[in-house]
Copies of this chain bind each other. A is one copy, B any other.
Amino acid sequence: SINGDRLWDSLMEMAKIGKTAKDGVCRLALTDLDRESRDLFIKWCKAEGCSIRIDKMGNIFARREGKNPDLPPIVMGSHLDSQPTGGKYDGVYGVLSGLEVIRALNEAKYETEAPIEVVSWTNEEGSRFAPAMVASGVFAKVFDLDYGHSRADVDGKTMGEELKRIGYLGDDDPTIDAHPMGAYFEAHIEQGPILEDEGKDIGIVTDAQGQRWYEINLTGVEAHAGPTPMKTRKDALLGAARIIDLVNKIGLDRSPLACATVGMMQIHPNSRNVIPGHVFLTVDFRHPVDAVLVEMDAALRKGVAVITDDIGLTAEIDQIFSYAPVPFDKTCVDAVRSGVEIGGYSAREIVSGAGHDACYLAQVTPTAMIFIPCVDGISHNEIEEVHKHWSDAGGQVLLHAVLAKADE
Contact = CB atoms under 8 A, between A and B. Distances in A.
A272 interface: yes
A137 to B, nearest CB: 15
Contacts of A237: 244, 262-263, 265
Q: Please classify the interface of chain A as helix (H, G, I), strand (E, B), loop, or mixed, using the class held by over half of its residues.
A: loop
Interface string A339-380: 000000000000011110000000000000000000001111
B230 A255 contact: yes
A191 B192 CA distance: 51
Contacts of A273: 83, 125-127, 132, 261, 263, 284, 354, 380
Contacts of A378: 221-223
Contacts of A261: 225, 235, 273, 275
A286 B228 CA distance: 11
Contact of A380 (B258, B274, B284, B379): B274
Interface in A192-239: 192-193, 209, 211, 213, 221-232, 235, 237-238
A211 B227 CA distance: 12
Number of identical monomers bound together in the oligomeric complex: 2
A150 interface: no
B264 A265 contact: no
A240 interface: yes
Contacts of A244: 237-238, 240-241
A227 B269 contact: no
A385 interface: no
A242 interface: yes
Contact of A83 (B125, B256, B271, B286): B271
B223 A377 contact: yes
A273 to B, nearest CB: 5
Interface stretch (A36-44, A46-54, A177-185, A245-253): A245-253
B263 A225 contact: yes
A260 interface: yes
Contact of A277 (B191, B227, B259, B381): B381
A245 B230 CA distance: 13
A144 B190 CA distance: 54
Contact of A232 (B125, B193, B213, B284): B193
A225 B272 contact: no
A276 interface: yes
B282 A263 contact: no
Residue in A125, A240, A270, A277 with the greatest tally of chain B CB atoms within 10 Å = A270
A130 interface: yes
Contacts of A259: 225-230
A267 interface: yes
Given A125-B271, A127-B273, A226-B259, 15 more contacts: A84-B270, A85-B269, A130-B272, A191-B228, A223-B377, A224-B354, A225-B261, A226-B353, A228-B259, A241-B244, A245-B245, A263-B273, A264-B270, A271-B380, A274-B381
Nearest first, the 7 closest Cβ-Cβ pairs linking A and B are A227-B353, A192-B227, A241-B244, A225-B261, A226-B354, A241-B241, A226-B353
30 contacts: A84-B270, A85-B268, A126-B272, A127-B269, A130-B272, A132-B273, A191-B224, A191-B227, A191-B228, A222-B378, A222-B380, A223-B380, A224-B354, A227-B353, A229-B255, A230-B252, A230-B256, A230-B260, A238-B245, A240-B244, A241-B241, A241-B244, A241-B262, A262-B276, A263-B275, A263-B276, A264-B272, A271-B380, A273-B284, A277-B381
